[in-house]
Amino acid sequence: MAPTSLTELQEAIRSHPQVLAVGARTKPRLSQVDDCTLLSMRGLSGITEYQPSEYTFTALAGTPLHELEQVLTEQGQAMPFDPLLSRAGSTLGGATATGLSGPGRFRYGGIRDFLLGLTYIDGTGQPIRTGSRVVKNAAGFDLPKLMVGSLGRFGVLAELTFKVFPAFRARISLQVECTDCHQATERLIEAACSRWELLALDYDPAQKRLLLQLGGPQRALEQIAADIENRWPGDVQPIESCTADTCWETIRTLGLDLTESEQAPTRPTRASQTVVAQVALTPTVVPELEQKLGSMEGVNSHYSVGGNVATLICQQPDNIPPISKLLAELQLVGLVLQGCDAPLWLGTTQPTAIDRAIKTALDPQCRFPSYDIANLQADHVAHH
Amino acid sequence: MNDSLKKLRAIYPADRFLEADAQLAAYASDALTAFHSLPRAVVLPETSEEVIDTVRFCHDQQVAFVARGSGTSLSGGSLPVSDGIVIGLNRLNKILELDSKNRIALVQPGVINLHVSEAAQPYGLHYAPDPSSQQVCTIGGNVAFNSGGAHCLKYGMTANHVLGIQAVLATGEVVTFGGRSRESLGPDTTGLFCGSEGLFGVALEITLRLIPQAGCYHTVLAGYRSLQDAGNAVAQIIASGLLPGAMEIMDALAIEAAEAAVACGYPPGAEAVLIVELEGPHEVIECERETLHTVLASTAAFQTKTAANATERMTIWKGRKSAFSAVGRISPDFIVQDGVVPRLRLGEALQQIGEMADVAKIRVANVFHAGDGNLHPLILYDGREPGALTRAEELAGRILEMCVAMGGSITGEHGVGLEKRDYLGTMFSQHTIDTMQRVRAAFDPRKIANPGKMFPGSDPADSQQATSGLRGLHPLEKAGIISRE
């Protein structure tokens, strides 16, 4: 199913018992749901309103992020949260439903912080328009925020309005070498609390380095960079801009196998057996998590957003149960984006009555896949 | 003694269970002073457990409750329900944890907004949302109404700074939304809870994100011969690619009132003043201020003044922050509106407000967050004149309808509350409102949590809301302790 208009989308939802919207399927595990018709949103694409002076745009859910970024760049603007998987074809609706943001989330916040309003189609095929198209609004319940990270379980996102910011005139990237994870974490925390106003702050354990990004007028950035070099003499090196672009772009692709997503295959390829998960955490947990992951073979990690997000890449599916157990011990949650034999959720899940009540309120006819975390846990256990 | 409250009374010592009329009077109104209503009782919990027990009592007995902080809501959000319970949360005022490494503050709902930044200050951190009442308003109220402030364009509203919430829902269920990480996985229920106007339950512990303090500020005041010129200047600043922390405009009537009240030294003869503030590392500000001054020089400003130090900065802001209470000196009563229009249509909106005010023969002063199109028309009236409040409310309503017609919102930061509930339908379809009502029912099937707010129609308590003879400034405003946004 690939509707090309809102009317077709409404009809498609009405005419199938259970549906799940998909964009470019750059995060294949998220659309692996049994007994459900997949609705491709790629036919619902395009910017419907963009007035640069308002710092807002409105676009259909199937609009590829890279197209949006091009249009914004032409007007000297940007989505400061560096949406993930943009070059891989990820769509605005898919990014919102997943709720994940890239390294730029560090400075001004993520998708939840820039989403202003949206229209979604509910299980009866009717549009629900919530939030607003202006940069400030406090009317009604903030259903747009609830849709962030909802994985399509409440309705089909059709059109979204985002706030944007002026693009930075220049950017400078630095790397800070660290002797070990403890030193890296100490420096990560210091940098996060500093006056430097970093745009992005990542930790790459494999290379034993922090990655820092600054944005603003070139002259100012050079002065701030010098201040950072003075703070950790000998350990700070500028990264040449071409290399830096590649470096940040690699982080934004999360190590996912992108070739498969281009054709939106219906079954997983061999490469997709590699499990890729995102974990929400705090910087002070990084050393313990990193130390315990270090004892597992074939697990790579990267820490983004000042140590608030970890990307775990696991080549050996056997390691998934112990990783999930470890996350649970640390009271962390992970979401699997790739790796179709892996459970959707890793670590701690807390099923509550209110989660189920919200799902029932928004989708009383169960026209979208269950969001019942208890079921997800059962799924989890089955895979153990 | 009222037997039906016996179980509730048993939770509290006598000095924290108020039911005498004289005691209740202090809770009868909030900063929307045109309305008041006496609750049946006020309870003053000191622990989360007491709040939970109170909510469970209300659920069991089907008694309406209104959780309240300092009562600074401008939309009547904390107006009591007659025959209901007010849960006064000011004694739950502990900052439970200040985790500077993870840049988090864990606070109780009665903590005062400004106290969070004061506690974070030694670590070089602060809490960004800064409603004008930040010296007295509480984080619990900020969360319930998703409060804003002068820095929303750059930093967002309260919801953007809340990472996690532990709450007791109206069903008595205790839940935890979100957590301590800046990222969250799964549906953003924390974001949903923010701005729910007390209709879901009571927040017990709130995890706030802290950000580094700005290295330096650069504050400029520019005087213009017309509002249109000031509005055009905002457009030019935006077009230059700058992202100021704040951009505020006041019109002649608001300037006149502020000048009389606090002698803020705004340019004489100005029909409008624009305040622009840049903030960031000094290296960045040194570059950006050159850009700003080049832009301002190309606007129609007849005078610009740059704050040379912190004292001069505070003087510039004093005029702005005092504007509302200052207007109270030139009119016995006023209504503050909070509509939002697309920034490009600010000039048009102000012109229409002026025309509507002329037709209605009502004076309107304008103060607004120009950076994000958030208007605050102050509609002046004398409540002693029969029908004056009604006429002022009718003008306020027409302004809200104009904002929606222009593609904006009925509220930027004050919330819908009691005041604007009849206008919710101008923004949302009935189907969307029905969906919101179902979400509300998921949290509160008995409609006991702050009924009569946000939704138009017939909540059980609606008929018991009353207008009153209470008028004029909020007592705290009269005392010069708070000012409105």
Chain B residues whose CB is inside 8 A of the A165 CB are: 243
- Average pLDDT of chain B, as a whole number: 91
Of residues A136, A142, A360, nearest to B442 (C-beta): A360
| Predicted local confidence at residue A263, as pLDDT | 47
Contact call for A309 and B103, based on CB within 8 A: no
Instruction: Tell me the pLDDT band of A374, cut-offs 50, 70 and 90.
Output: very low
pLDDT, tens digit (0-9, with 9 covering 90-100), for A189-208: 999 999 999 999 999 999 99
Residues A216-238 have a mean pLDDT of 97
Instruction: Tell me the pLDDT band of A377, cut-offs 50, 70 and 90.
Output: very low
Contact call for B415 and A138, based on CB within 8 A: yes
Of residues B189, B424, B438, nearest to A146 (C-beta): B189
Q: B31-45, B125-139, B317-331 — which is least confidently predicted?
A: B317-331
Look up the ipTM and state it: 0.94
Instruction: Tell me the pLDDT band of A267, cut-offs 50, 70 and 90.
Output: very low
CA distance B184 to B192: 13
Contact call for B283 and A220, based on CB within 8 A: yes
Q: Is the pLDDT of residue B233 over 60?
A: yes
Chain A residues whose CB is inside 8 A of the B424 CB are: 139-140
Query: Which residue in chain A is spatially nearest to B374 when comparing CA positions?
Result: A136
Q: Which one of A30, A49, A122, A141 would you mutate to disrupt binding with B, by most B Cβ within 10 Å of its Cβ?
A: A141
pLDDT, tens digit (0-9, with 9 covering 90-100), for A320-371: 999 999 999 999 999 999 987 899 999 977 668 999 999 999 999 999 998 6
Chain B residues whose CB is inside 8 A of the A100 CB are: 183
pLDDT, tens digit (0-9, with 9 covering 90-100), for A138-181: 999 999 999 999 999 999 999 999 999 999 999 999 999 999 99
Of residues A109, A193, A219, nearest to B212 (C-beta): A193
| Predicted local confidence at residue A38, as pLDDT | 95
CB-based contacts of B146, cutoff 8 Å, min separation 6:
A138, A142, B157, B158, B159, B194, B195, B413, B415
pLDDT, tens digit (0-9, with 9 covering 90-100), for B103-144: 999 999 999 999 999 999 999 999 999 998 888 999 999 999
Contact call for B435 and A220, based on CB within 8 A: no
CB B40 within 8 A of CB B84: yes
Contact call for B169 and A354, based on CB within 8 A: yes
CB B183 within 8 A of CB A280: yes
Contact call for B102 and A334, based on CB within 8 A: no
DSSP assignment string, A150-168: -TTSS-EEEEEEEE-EEPP
**Distances in Å between the alpha carbon of B144 and those of B66, B77, B139, B294, B420?**
11, 9, 9, 41, 16
Nearest CA-CA distance, residue A364 and chain B, Å: 10
Nearest CA-CA distance, residue B471 and chain A, Å: 26
Residues B93-97 have a mean pLDDT of 98
Instruction: Tell me the pLDDT band of A304, cut-offs 50, 70 and 90.
Output: very high
Query: Which residue in chain A is spatially nearest to B184 when comparing CA positions?
Result: A280
**Distances in Å between the alpha carbon of A185 and those of A48, A250, A254, A291, B162?**
43, 22, 21, 12, 24
Query: Which residue in chain B is spatially nearest to A146 when comparing CA positions?
Result: B188
Secondary structure letter of residue B16 according to DSSP:
G
Q: Is the pLDDT of residue A244 over 70?
A: yes
Angle, alpha carbons B391-B395-B396 (nearest 5°): 115
Q: Which one of A50, A145, A196 would you mutate to disrupt binding with B, by most B Cβ within 10 Å of its Cβ?
A: A145
Residues A40-65 have a mean pLDDT of 97
HSE, side-chain direction, 13 A CA sphere, residue A176:
27
Contact call for A166 and B242, based on CB within 8 A: yes
Chain B residues whose CB is inside 8 A of the A78 CB are: none
Nearest CA-CA distance, residue A141 and chain B, Å: 6
Taking the model in full, what pTM does it have?
A: 0.94
Q: Which one of A137, A182, A332, A370 would you mutate to disrupt binding with B, by most B Cβ within 10 Å of its Cβ?
A: A137
Instruction: Tell me the pLDDT band of A380, cut-offs 50, 70 and 90.
Output: very low
Nearest CA-CA distance, residue B274 and chain A, Å: 18
Instruction: Tell me the pLDDT band of B464, cut-offs 50, 70 and 90.
Output: very low
Q: Is the pLDDT of residue B469 over 80?
A: no
| Predicted local confidence at residue A271, as pLDDT | 56
pLDDT, tens digit (0-9, with 9 covering 90-100), for B358-383: 999 999 999 999 999 999 999 999 98
Chain A residues whose CB is inside 8 A of the B374 CB are: 136
Q: Which one of A50, A98, A112, A136 would you mutate to disrupt binding with B, by most B Cβ within 10 Å of its Cβ?
A: A136
pLDDT, tens digit (0-9, with 9 covering 90-100), for B421-457: 999 999 999 999 999 999 999 999 999 999 999 999 7
Nearest CA-CA distance, residue A242 and chain B, Å: 24
Query: Which residue in chain B is spatially nearest to A124 when comparing CA positions?
Result: B431
Of residues B101, B153, B242, nearest to A189 (C-beta): B101
Query: If residue B216 lies in a helix (H) or strand (E), which one and from where to where?
Result: strand B216-224
Of residues A110, A195, A357, nearest to B442 (C-beta): A357
| Predicted local confidence at residue B260, as pLDDT | 87
Contact call for B344 and A110, based on CB within 8 A: no
Residues B327-347 have a mean pLDDT of 89
Helix and strand numbers, DSSP H then E, in chain B:
17, 20
Query: Which residue in chain B is spatially nearest to A97 when comparing CA positions?
Result: B187
CA distance B39 to B28: 7
